Amino acid sequence: MKDSECCPFPCDENRTCGLSDCYPTGKLTAAFDALAAALRKEYGERVDLKLTLLDDGVPDYVKKIIETDFPPLPIVTVNGKLTRIGRIALDRIKKEIEREL
């Protein structure tokens, strides 16, 4: 997963995900870093992000989510609530954060 693309769409200049720091890599890890930077800028210490890569195995809490909810990857949870996004998208993730703040 660490070398996977951030979404099923091509990484292009349209930036439909709302991020630009990771362009044109298209990589999940670069997109996560860009997302984390954007959210830290917006929310400061009120938001903590964690990227769980499945390269070294699937943690039990992720197995449980996948078994019960069958979400698209990447999985986004906010305060334990699953958000079906399926890709890193700044605006959609911010909406979920705003609901919780």
Residue 4 has pLDDT above 70, yes or no: yes
Total tally of structural domains belonging to the chain: 1
Residue 16: pLDDT band (50, 70, 90) is confident
Distance CA 86, CA 73 (A): 5
Residue 47 lies in a domain: yes
- Quick check: is 5 in a domain? no
Using the CB atoms, write b or e for 58-81: b if 16+ within 10 Å: eeeeeeebeeeeebebbbbebeee
Residue 81 lies in a domain: yes
Residue 77 is assigned to a structural domain of this protein: yes
Q: What is the pLDDT of residue 68?
A: 87
pTM, to two decimals: 0.79
34 in a domain, yes or no?
A: yes
Cis before residue 24, ω within 30 degrees of 0?
yes
Domain membership of residue 7 (yes or no) is no
Range of the domain at 89: 28-100
Answer whether 35's CB lies under 8 Å from 19's CB.
Answer: yes
Does 4 map to a domain? no
Per-residue pLDDT of 49-101, as tens digits, reads 888 888 888 889 888 888 888 877 667 777 778 877 767 888 888 988 898 88
Average pLDDT over residues 35-45: 92
| 21 is a domain residue | no
